[in-house]
Structure 1
């Protein structure tokens, strides 16, 4: 268990790394996504209203990009500048503890918020708003007096509690919405039968996970509900062993997701939030009484340890009891016979026969009724836990030896306590959406506070994988080009998303190819709801270099085609028939194609560059060639410097660039070695030459 000071530093260090991944990954994609000839040009939404003042434009869309004209920059180079500054600040946060300050994290939050405001559909993901909320909490966490000891500042407990509350809302809501959505695959515990195949960008291990036995897939779904719904309540436990149990479960859960799916920095960000569980807050009076009692009375320690163990046993019993009643298992151990054992391993057979089939032991209406109790109960748990932490922080402030330190700590503690209470209150507005009755009971003044700051995404609602998509086959779009309507048609390849059935799924962590991601969402609907997709077809017909850089190199398409069309396919993982694990591994090594696909229909009809219907469609959304106009000439030194950096990095692989920046920054960072000896934490600070 880490002292509070080290926990805070590790959290800020992790957030600096995640900011680095977010800024650098986005920087590499700006020209193709948001440039003047990109898919969603930013300049279209930064047009000034002649009747409105600059402040009115800022209130309408708060972003630093309104000031790019004063710097002699275009919208594209302005976004690049914000990303470069963000990369620099995040690298310095990794390198030096002194840079993990309120100034650095405030500026990085403003930079990312400015980019989010103009990112449109390519930046509207849940991990982007999660980064904004967690980044805002970094400002509060970094607002503390620097401490020379590992215990940190007394008010760090309040800051880290806010991080813990965010983690609770994220995990609990993600579990609840899976059931409130009414998705049959979640209720039948069959979601993972399709998840590994249908997720946005799978990893190579997803193919192997897809072939796990059906009983194990159902067991995994059951464990997902357990980890996401009841386990988060242990985050607020004052007993360290229970928090550590919850921490290891959450981190293991995130690592398994990382192994089977490419979700950029999202899982790393969740693990960073889990670091808030590692600080040792203990019981409020142990800091005052334990030292004296350890010397005079060993009975006190025995009583405290006994009580803790009893509480742990009671909690374990309650969890096992409710899991047994809520997740029913059909036991069938009578069929274990010698002939069966001879056909497969004894261990595998016993598991199948004794575990049987898992299924939910409650109905949708029962779950909705239970939420009317669980959601208010979780709010009371959060409120009591926050009061506990504030009281504990005040006690620690009173233990300061110097009078000035004591006064400063108390003042800062009161400020953080007020901010924490305010943030907790307004977070109840999006969080209470899990239950309609609870949402109606939120005070009107709290609703007013939330409405006033809602656009800044300081608090948000979450709910990942609400419904399982791709049941029966993964929908995927193939874009093809040709010089004749009669063919032959040549398919465009993407860098990461499934296309060629012979290509191996990649590992991308922590890069997010936002075009590849949006192609997955586009396949779930139609091009009518995705105007950027029609604009993609137009840019391919024009041979736009910035857009082509977002895609893989296509050796068969040396020049822009005369026609472009899109075909909708259903992708499936290839299957391996076997009777044992050893046989499966042997056959899997010989697999050459991880996918096979079937024709599903036409997604976009063949279009030419001068197709009137396409041009009319694009002009309606402000994306047509009539909106291109003439780019204003920029001759400033800063503008040309940014263009030079862009030209130098254009051919770089984003994944390699992100990894290089992180390891280079970490190589020159301040390093801490922690050693536990004699009941004390000893820290060695190593300065690299």
Structure 2
């Protein structure tokens, strides 16, 4: 059974499993905290409405026959609990069948949330988590040797993630080809981080070096993943460093962290042996492998055949001049295509929501992650995903991204709806109902070094105009976008 075993993948597999459990934990907690206000029975896009028109075959999920907000929370918190147990290593010490069952339940629970999450769970990293989670079912426990085929499938996923992102840039905005996209991207990205202002003010030639290095990392380096060690490990290490750079420069939920986890699994055990203290290694790999169960071998081989067959459409998509970003070709999201920022916006617009107080003054609501008050410095939230903040960025690009949820958001603010207010960082009315709620479009830009020293504000903004009509208690249900 030598062909089946990856002798150099013990620590890499363990790092992948524990890190994936940590990201599952973040994802389930985020779903529990945000889901009721976004897709609950009184959410901005209620899941019950979606379930009435979507068949089980179109969106397999645990809520198909019965939805309740309590059931959703039970699913999310059950997933969080299982992820926590996995993080501390409990499934790795269970019998192989039980360990696989835990990973299968984690995958099924999160797939259910994604498949009813509609636009709030439509981001590429949601699908990526589902795909990695499915492969994790077949990675085995601590009592069996790492399966080479599954680790190669992990590399194939990392290849598609990086290469797809590189191709979409090369085929997309011209600024990627002339190496000028980062003159704008750090300022106009959906959710800047605490260091994004400084990245934006790097010299122009360095921005071009960043883009060129990104092209090399995404279009050339991924092919090294399928070469023998140490080339595969060096290739993965380059990707890992590049992803850490992206983590420092913005907030992209767990996209970069999942890419880091995938790349980390490719590093040979000799690298991990130098990086990790002995007790940590003993905790990650508590036992030596016993016999390799033949039913598990059969399952891994069948998985490999399945992924090979399902890879056909993602490969065709990669080769197509009309390449789609972040697309799933089947409802279980087993093998997908990825890519991001085929185009880069050059001007930043933000929607500012304001409520009218009894004294006639419009007061601004504050969001957790997206730019708002000019003096509020961006926070680091990734890998946590602030779904409302991200959708607010898309809404500012076009009204079509904002209907019907933004008018409903204004109405929920008008009602001082507690679950909705918990999505925000600042309620200027302290739970009271405003007289009216309006959305105003603003033009944002980073301040200069001189402006920062003078005003201590990282943003400069000016109003552009109203973004839809004012919503009052007498307003009809919005149907005007």
The TM-score range, normalised by the shorter chain, is 0.7 to 0.9
Name the counterpart of 1:595: 459
Confirm whether residue 168 of structure 1 aligns to residue 159 of structure 2: yes
Q: Residues 535 and 428 of structure 1: is their aligned pair in 2 closer, same or farther, counting only changes over 3 Å?
A: same
Confirm whether residue 186 of structure 1 aligns to residue 183 of structure 2: no
SS at match of 1:454: coil
Q: Cα offset for 1:555?
A: 3.2
Q: Name the CA distance, whole Å, in 2 between partners of 1:223 and 1:200.
A: 22
Name the counterpart of 1:209: 199
1:433 maps to which of 317, 333, 337 = 317
Name the counterpart of 2:468: 604
Name the counterpart of 2:101: 103
Question: Aligned ranges for residues 511-530 of structure 1 at < 5 Å?
Answer: 511-526=384-399, 529-530=402-403
Name the counterpart of 1:297: none
Question: Aligned ranges for residues 100-499 of structure 1 at < 5 Å?
Answer: 101-142=99-140, 146-147=143-144, 152-153=145-146, 156-181=147-172, 183-238=173-228, 240-279=229-268, 405=291, 408-409=293-294, 412-436=296-320, 454-469=330-345, 471=346, 473-482=347-356, 487-499=360-372
Question: Aligned ranges for residues 515-664 of structure 1 at < 5 Å?
Answer: 515-526=388-399, 529-556=402-429, 559-576=432-449, 592-612=456-476, 614-616=477-479
SS at match of 1:596: strand
Aligned residues of 1:105 and 1:135 also touching (Cα < 8 A): yes
Aligned residues: 450
1:32 maps to which of 20, 37, 55 = 37
SS at match of 1:79: helix
Q: Residues 531 and 467 of structure 1: is their aligned pair in 2 closer, same or farther, counting only changes over 3 Å?
A: same
Q: Residues 436 and 67 of structure 1: is their aligned pair in 2 closer, same or farther, counting only changes over 3 Å?
A: closer
Name the counterpart of 1:13: 18
Q: Residues 529 and 84 of structure 1: is their aligned pair in 2 closer, same or farther, counting only changes over 3 Å?
A: closer
Q: Cα offset for 1:589?
A: 7.0
Q: Residues 248 and 145 of structure 1: is their aligned pair in 2 closer, same or farther, counting only changes over 3 Å?
A: closer
Q: Name the CA distance, whole Å, in 2 between partners of 1:529 and 1:497.
A: 16
TM-score of the aligned structures, taking structure 2 as reference length: 0.86
Q: Cα offset for 1:235?
A: 0.5
Q: Cα offset for 1:593?
A: 0.1
TM-score of the aligned structures, taking structure 1 as reference length: 0.61
Cα deviation digits, residues 198-244 of structure 1 (max 9, x gap): 11111111111111000000111100101110000110111x23222
Cα deviation digits, residues 321-342 of structure 1 (max 9, x gap): xxxxxxxxxxxxxxxxxxxxxx
Name the counterpart of 1:654: none
Structure number with higher helix proportion: 1
Q: Name the CA distance, whole Å, in 1 between partners of 2:252 and 2:342.
A: 16
Q: Cα offset for 1:62?
A: 1.9
Cα deviation digits, residues 156-214 of structure 1 (max 9, x gap): 11110000000000000100110112x12212211111111111111111111111000
Q: Residues 498 and 2 of structure 1: is their aligned pair in 2 closer, same or farther, counting only changes over 3 Å?
A: farther
Return 5+ residue gaps in structure 1 as ranges: 50-55, 69-73, 282-400, 440-449, 578-586, 619-689
SS at match of 1:130: helix
Q: Residues 114 and 216 of structure 1: is their aligned pair in 2 closer, same or farther, counting only changes over 3 Å?
A: same
Bigger Rg over Cα: 1
Q: Residues 589 and 617 of structure 1: is their aligned pair in 2 closer, same or farther, counting only changes over 3 Å?
A: closer
SS at match of 1:109: helix
Q: Name the CA distance, whole Å, in 1 between partners of 2:255 and 2:8.
A: 26
